[in-house]
Amino acid sequence: MTTTLRPAGPEERQDDGARARRYDVCVNSRRVGGIRLATDARFGPSAGRIVGLDIDPPDRHRGRATVAALAAEEVLRGWGCRQIEVTVPAEATAALRLAAALGYTERSRTMSKPLNGPPRLPGDSRDRPLGEADFPAWLAAALVTYTRTQRGQGMTRARAEEAAAVSHRALLPDGLGTPGQVLRVLEHGGADVGTLWLSLQMPGQPGGYVVDVQVAAEHRGRGHGRTLMLVAERETLAAGRSTLGLHVYADNAPARALYDALGYRPTGHLLWKPIL
């Protein structure tokens, strides 16, 4: 029997080159599932995404998803894409095994932690709100860091700079006065050692969400990142939220080790592979 993809609707196109389309997964013309393909909003038309793939229960465990995923690569290659991404929930172990078998590797993951009570901060550290006078320098540094991170994931400089500006403008349209955004500075031994950006209004996040944690280079390796995360947990609880989420790149081993030690657990995996 032959498994193929059959268009299930018209192709969606945007002025910026973005594309998307739904397909039926068919076996000898019989529909057994569906898949949606799109170009990636972050990387642009050169990257594709499997937005959703579902095989009907009676046809599962027969290799249908494997063939559909491989067919999706051919479609996206025809669109001019040179890489493909898919986000898989942490509990979808079968999908994670399939992605690994097809050569996908982890680019990043989302993590979350239930919060049970206010944490105790180290007695020799304290935090304060980021002040108006410090905001411009903080924002400039945040944009540079975001751009550098995205370039490290393969994004062009121009697109990374644009993405940095758009994302920060969307979350902080009114600067420090933006509702639901918490910006704190950590002090230790009379010196400013790091900053925290916590969002309490992140789309798709039911609790708090750590947007950014930064420890000054000369103060790293002394536990300040952990303290900043405890500040984030305290602020989340103070706002009446009971969970705290975050996003971490796979190659950031120190951050991943910290989050594991603090009790954060994966909720989703962003996987990718080249399709040259």
185 lies in some domain: yes
Q: How far is 33 from 2, CA to CA, in rounded Å?
A: 14
Whether 224 and 134 map to the same domain: the answer is: yes
What is the CATH number for 40?
3.40.630
Show the beta-strand stretches assigned E in the chain.
3-7, 12-13, 19-27, 30-40, 44-55, 83-89, 105-114, 125-129, 181-188, 191-199, 208-215, 243-249, 265-274
What residues are paired with 198 via a beta bridge?
182, 210
What is the Cβ-side half-sphere exposure of residue 125, based on CA atoms within 13 angstroms?
22
pLDDT at position 3: 86
Provide the whole-model pTM: 0.90
Express as a percent the part of the chain with pLDDT over 70: 100
Per-residue pLDDT tens digits for 220-261:
999 999 999 999 999 999 999 999 999 999 999 999 999 999
**Residue 37 resides in a domain:** yes
How do residues 44-62 score in pLDDT, each as one tens digit? 888 999 999 999 999 999 9
- What is the C-alpha to C-alpha distance for residues 86 and 69, in angstroms, rounded to an integer? 10
CA dist 2 and 101 (Å) reads 21
Neighbours of 80 (CB within 10 A): 12
pLDDT of residue 1: 63
For residue 66, give its domain range. Answer: 3-81
Split at pLDDT 50, 70, 90, the class of 33 is very high
Q: Which residues pair with 184 in a beta bridge?
A: 129, 196
Based on the structure, what is the number of domains in the chain? 2
Pick the last residue of a domain from 32, 60, 81: 81
